[in-house]
Amino acid sequence: MASLNTTVHVYDDTGIAHVFGPGAEPPDWAIAKITNPDVWADEDEAHAEDSGDGQGDGQGDGQGDPAVKPVDEWTVPQLREYAHKAGIDLGNATRRADILATVKAATVPAPDGDAQA
C-alpha cells in the first residue's frame, strides 16, 4: 500500500473530514476518494493515472461520488451533527458563525499534520 507525501483532507460518506499526514497509509475508502496522484510517496498501479481510454476497470457504477458541500455552506443542523459525530465541544455556541468557527478550529491540521481535535 502506498503512503502519502503530504497532508490530505478526505471527507467520508457522512461528510466528516479526516486528515491523513505524510507517511500515512489511508484506509481503502479514503484512497478511493484521493484523486490527486501527486500526493503519493510511492507511485503504484492503484494510484497511476487513468489511461484515458474510457474503458475503466468495470468495477464502478459510473456515477462517481456525489459532490460534497463545503463546510462553509453547511446548515446549523449539519454543523451540529458533524460536531457531535466528531466529538467537537461547541460550548455555548448558538449562532451559525460561532458554530462554524468552532468546527473549523477543531479540524485545522497542526503544523505536524495532526488535526487539533
Closest CA to 37 of 29, 45, 28, 26: 45
pLDDT at residue 44 is higher than 60 = no
Query: For the range 111-115, what are the long-range contacts, defined as Cβ-Cβ under 8 Å and sequence gap of 24 or more?
Result: 112/21, 113/7, 113/19, 113/21, 113/22, 114/19, 114/21, 115/19
Strand, coil or helix: 49: coil
For residue range 52-63, what is the model confidence (pLDDT) as tens digits?
A: 555 555 555 555
46 falls in which pLDDT band (50, 70, 90)? very low
pLDDT at 70: 78
pTM over 0.85: no
